[in-house]
Amino acid sequence: MSATSVTPQTLAIDGGSPVRDTFLPYGRQSIDESDITAVTDALRSDWLTTGPKVGEFEEAFAARVGAKFAVSFSSGTSALHAAAFAAGLKSGDEAITTPMTFAATANCILYQAATPVFTDVQADTLNLDPGHLESKITPNTRAILPVDYAGHPAELEQILAIADRHGLIVIEDACHALGAEHRDRPVGSLADMTVFSFHPVKHITTGEGGLVATNSAKFAEILRRFRNHGICSDARQRQANDHWHYEMVLLGYNYRLPDLACALGLSQLQKLDRNLQRRRDIAARYTAAFRAMDAVIPPTVRPGVNPAWHLYPIRLDLSRLRAERAQIFRALRRENIGVNVHYIPVHLHPYYRERFGYTGGEFPVAEDAYQRLISLPMFHGMSDQDVEDVIHAVEKVVNHYRK
């Protein structure tokens, strides 16, 4: 290509200038001075791991999501494992979940030696379709694990009603949905147990971290024991009571979230509402821009739902494009836009194919969506210019490949 043929419309992948000079990731944390002070204060205190910040963080979090109890964990994945344990999942049991998620949602079922049973998703929200649930329930079914994909709450009312009829426990994977609401009720107050993650790309971070919210005192007690080797009382209580005795009553793990991390979590929690508002504003700006583009399908929001916008996944209308998703993805990356894909459906991963014999074609709605999905950058620290750069890059690339 000669230099004179390069125009502002020439894609970076074809030798043009990228829309921006620096790479914009799809998600990242925001840490301010008050977060740093909270952590350094904790470092100077008597407690690095289980100390007063753990309970303070858990109480503040429970209040924020409208749950009676909150039990913190070392990650969202260990929180999922603990919830699967507390639900009583064991060898021979089945648990129903969605393929349109991060592998950890299904893996936690396998950690308990139970069998994950996938069910297809709704075409609009890509959340577990409650219409398929009843046909998947067998005498061995013990739990349902819906995921609030991208931060849009799953159909909790229907799922809970079905679970109730069949005596099943609902573990909601709300790792995308901290701060989301379903008919004016906060996610965290609805399911038997609701799981959150504090990974740096999520709404608030503790570095690594996770939590289970529940209204059940029984689940909360099991969860607390499970994260601490299956031991009944923690070191602080023993010291306060001048009491050497402890008992290990179940096979647990060391899944504790340290005081250091909880100090950061408490400080981050104060910024949750601001973070959510920023994500909602970015989503509104994106959706307004993409409504004008017929080859781009913005995410749907069902009535009565206030999503938390962990992700902003667009779907491409491939019938209007001369390129597959992979080409458009690569072109956007070359424009320095850190697009991603959420998710490769879990059953298509080699581990699940080999262990359970999946070949593809089992969950057509999820698999079709997967061919067309691209997650655009979405995080509360994005500037207005970052948002405009993303819109500009999507317009540039999609218009280039438009039929």
Q: Which one of residues 29, 72, 75, 125 is an interface residue with ligand PLP (CB under 6 A)?
A: 75
SS3 305: strand
> Which residues lie closer than 8 Å to 153 by C-beta, 6 or more apart?
127, 174, 177, 180, 181, 182, 187, 190, 305, 307
Q: Which one of residues 104, 137, 178, 269 is an interface residue with ligand PLP (CB under 6 A)?
A: 104
199 near ligand PLP, rule: CB under 6 A? yes
Residue 188 contacts residue 174 (beta carbons within 8 Å): yes
173 near ligand PLP, rule: CB under 6 A? yes
Q: Which one of residues 110, 144, 175, 269 is an interface residue with ligand PLP (CB under 6 A)?
A: 175
Please provide residue 117's backbone torsions phi and psi, each rounded to the nearest 5 degrees: -115, 115
145 near ligand PLP, rule: CB under 6 A? no
Closest CB to ligand PLP among residues 186, 210: 210
Query: Which residue in the block uniquely carries the two structure tokens 């709605």?
Result: 365
Closest CB to ligand PLP among residues 129, 148: 148
147 near ligand PLP, rule: CB under 6 A? yes
Q: What is the DSSP code string of 165-227?
A: HHT-EEEEE-TT-TT-EETTEETTSSSSEEEEE--TTSSS--SS-EEEEES-HHHHHHHHHHT
Closest CB to ligand PLP among residues 176, 347: 176
Among the listed residues 202, 218, 271, 403, the single catalytic one is 202
99 near ligand PLP, rule: CB under 6 A? no
Closest CA to 195 of 174, 166, 221: 174
Closest distance between ligand PLP and the C-beta of residue 8, in Å? Answer: 37
105 near ligand PLP, rule: CB under 6 A? yes
77 near ligand PLP, rule: CB under 6 A? yes
Cα distances from 36 to residues 19, 361, 366, in angstroms, run 33, 49, 41
Closest distance between ligand PLP and the C-beta of residue 75, in Å? Answer: 4
Closest CB to ligand PLP among residues 352, 401: 352
Q: Which one of residues 50, 115, 197, 228 is an interface residue with ligand PLP (CB under 6 A)?
A: 197
Distance from first CA to last CA of the chain, Å, rounded? 22
Closest distance between ligand PLP and the C-beta of residue 300, in Å? Answer: 19
Q: Which one of residues 210, 307, 313, 345 is an interface residue with ligand PLP (CB under 6 A)?
A: 210
Please provide residue 328's backbone torsions phi and psi, each rounded to the nearest 5 degrees: -70, -40
Closest distance between ligand PLP and the C-beta of residue 244, in Å? Answer: 34
Residue 96 contacts residue 137 (beta carbons within 8 Å): yes
Q: Which residue is nearest to ligand PLP (CB)?
A: 76
Closest CB to ligand PLP among residues 199, 285: 199
Closest distance between ligand PLP and the C-beta of residue 269, in Å? Answer: 16
Closest CB to ligand PLP among residues 71, 394: 71
Closest distance between ligand PLP and the C-beta of residue 117, in Å? Answer: 18
202 labelled catalytic: yes
Residue 216 contacts residue 201 (beta carbons within 8 Å): no
The counts of H helices and E strands in the chain are: 14, 13
Task: Report DSSP state, residue 4.
Answer: G
Residue 231 contacts residue 225 (beta carbons within 8 Å): yes
Closest CB to ligand PLP among residues 77, 268: 77
Among 23-31, 98-106, 213-221, 370-378, the segment contacting ligand PLP (CB under 6 A): 98-106
Give the separation between CA 188 and CA 196, rounded to whole angstroms: 9
Residue 247 contacts residue 231 (beta carbons within 8 Å): yes
Q: Which one of residues 16, 76, 153, 252 is an interface residue with ligand PLP (CB under 6 A)?
A: 76
Residue 154 contacts residue 127 (beta carbons within 8 Å): yes
Closest distance between ligand PLP and the C-beta of residue 56, in Å? Answer: 21
Give the separation between CA 90 and CA 256, rounded to whole angstroms: 23
Which chain residues interact with ligand PLP by CB under 6 A? 75-77, 101-102, 104-105, 147, 173, 175-176, 197, 199, 210
Catalytic positions, please?
202
